[in-house]
Amino acid sequence: MAGSWGLKKSLVVAAIVVATVASFLYPSRGCRFPAIYNFGDSNSDTGAASASFGRLPPPYGETFFAESLGLPLVNAYLDSIGSNFSHGANFAASGSTIQPVNAKIYGAGFSPFSFNVQLLQFEQLQDRTEELYTQAEISEITSKLPKPEDISQALYILDSGQNDLYYGLVTMTRKQVNESIPYIISQFALFIEELYQLGARAFWIHSTGPVGCLPYSVIYFPPKPENMDQNGCVKSHNEVATEFNRLLKQRVSQLRVELPDAVLTYVDIYSAKYSLISEANKHGFIDPLGYCCGHSGDYYVQCGKKAIVNGTEVVGNACSDPSVYISWDNVHYSHAANRWVAHQILDGSLSDPPISLAQACHKPVNS
């Protein structure tokens, strides 16, 4: 999200879903993805917002995912310092939307790096890579770039929609939000079609999560009893997310017919996250609607920021043990929660069709 919930609060700790993918790029069986390209928002931003708008202060990054992986973490495309794109690139940026950013969306604090801009960045990387590979004398540069032939063999991960929904929820009526969803889905489909025209073939497409269970929703849209579900989440917000996901899944199914050479896997992130919230204690988490970094209540301080409260400076520090919270700050999942979610989706049990990530380059036999 953006504004008071986004650009300055983007979670630059690596999105575990993106990072974990790297460990599956060279499986003993199944697909061999030479690269991954990720598109989305702060849920999978590994440095774009920080590189573009100034480095985020600690404690952001303190639980950066640094376990041993099959390949290096995919670098943010906008982070030019020390980046290596030989195994792909991450175009996701905090506060970004699927729909193109207009003056109203930008004025509400959302990022200018919407999907259409991320596509332009991908095209730039593709075009410049092809140009540089024709110049044999600069092999030291091409060693940090993907091979041109990897474009059609790479895995393309798409995770976005949360910001589009929140923009609607804070600026529109519920009816208007629902009416806006088909347009957002059409832009999502157009993005996939354009990636396909550029050579992309294997897509791993995430649904949006239960936005009504984010601490931000519960704090700033405190639900009345009739608008609260059994877990204390904002029911109407989750209903909007559910409708978005229904139409996205439907459109992905249509795209399988329209893009015959593509393999499109729809991944039900919503179910994984809602399951974690419903059974938080069972999985070692406390206070499923609470969060680790920042403070809200009698006063509010952003994670990593300072504020003056009753003449005294207070800091939005992190909790002592982030691993026991589902949410890191009030809009982003923690390292531990993202890792749990990743483990739920990699085997394909929450996917349509039900194929694992290691098989995401293959069409199901009956397709």
Q: From the CA atom positions of the chain, what is the Rg in Å? A: 20
- 154: nearest Cα among 201, 190, 116: 201
**Rounded Cα gap, residues 223 and 7, in angstroms:** 26
Q: What is the DSSP string of 74-124?
A: PPBTT--SS---TTEEE---TT--SSPP-HHHHHTT--S--HHHHHHHHHH
What is the model's pTM? 0.90
pLDDT in tens, 120-166: 999 999 999 988 888 766 677 788 888 999 999 999 999 999 999 99
pLDDT in tens, 190-231: 999 999 999 999 999 999 999 999 999 999 999 999 999 999
Catalytic residue from among 87, 206, 295, 332: 332
- 66: nearest Cα among 97, 22, 102, 99: 22
How many angstroms separate the first and last alpha carbons of the chain?
36
- 21: nearest Cα among 90, 114, 86: 90
- Of residues 138 and 118, the one with the higher pLDDT is 118
The pLDDT of residue 241: 98
Torsion, Cα of 363, 99, 177, 109 (10° steps): 130
Catalytic residue from among 150, 207, 329, 351: 329
**Rounded Cα gap, residues 201 and 130, in angstroms:** 19
Taking all residues of the chain, what is their mean pLDDT, rounded to a whole number? 86
Say whether 329 is catalytic: yes
- 99: nearest Cα among 38, 21, 182, 195: 182
Which helix (H) or strand (E) covers residue 166, if one does? helix 162-171
Q: Which residues of 220-240 are buried (b: 16+ CB within 10 A; e: fewer)?
A: eeebeeeebbebebbbbbbbb
- 97: nearest Cα among 220, 209, 185: 185
The pLDDT of residue 136: 60
Q: What is the DSSP string of 179-226?
A: HHHHHHHHHHHHHHHHHHHTT--EEEEEPP--GGGSHHHHHHSPPPGG
Residue 18 has pLDDT above 90, yes or no: no
- Written as six digits, the tokens of 217 are 């929703």
Residue 159 and residue 38 in contact, taking contact as beta carbons nearer than 8 Å: yes
Catalytic residue from among 10, 41, 42, 229: 42
> Looking at residue 99, what DSSP letter applies?
S
Say whether 80 is catalytic: no
Amino acid letter for position 251: R
Percent of the chain with pLDDT over 70: 85
Average pLDDT estimate for 292-319: 89
**Rounded Cα gap, residues 358 and 31, in angstroms:** 6
Sign of CA dihedral 335, 338, 344, 346: negative
**Rounded Cα gap, residues 212 and 223, in angstroms:** 10
Say whether 42 is catalytic: yes
Residue 61's pLDDT band (cuts 50, 70, 90): low
Q: CA-based angle 249:273:359, to the nearest 5?
A: 55
Q: CA-based angle 194:195:201, to the nearest 5?
A: 130
In CATH, the number for domain 3-283+335-359 is 3.40.50
SS3 (DSSP) at 42: helix
The pLDDT of residue 64: 45
**Rounded Cα gap, residues 339 and 353, in angstroms:** 22
